[in-house]
Amino acid sequence: MELAEADPKGLVRESYRIEGITAGECRSIFMDWALSIPVGAPVTDAVRTLIATYGIPNPDHPMTTVLHQALTAPEAPRRRGGRVGRQALGA
């Protein structure tokens, strides 16, 4: 994927230029970035392009951490067992 497709508004590029940016700010920028990606675009390919372009040269930057987290699958939700679980389900 081309960099122009992966970061259409340059949001991630700009995050790497902000001195002293925090992880929370990077997560917020990442959400804005995710909303700017066209529907149906391969998001994981875009994230990999961003890591290759910005993350590898800046491994300690908080945005690099956020990008790597975006590639990991979330944990499956866990069901609460017993009486508490049944009450939560309305049983």
pTM for the whole thing?
A: 0.78
**Does the structure show a pLDDT above 70 at 86?**
no
Question: What long-range pairs does 16-20 form, CB within 8 A, spacing at least 24?
Answer: 16/54, 16/58, 16/61, 16/63
Residue 34 has pLDDT above 90, yes or no: yes
If you average pLDDT over residues 54-75, what whole number do you get?
A: 94
Is 22 inside any structural domain? yes
Q: Is residue 91 part of a domain?
A: no
48 assigned to some structural domain:
yes
CA dihedral (26, 27, 32, 36) positive or negative? positive
Residue at 52 is within a domain: yes
Range of the domain at 54: 3-71
With respect to residue 66, please indicate whether it lies within any of the assigned structural domains.
yes
Provide the domain count of the chain: 1
**15 within some domain:** yes
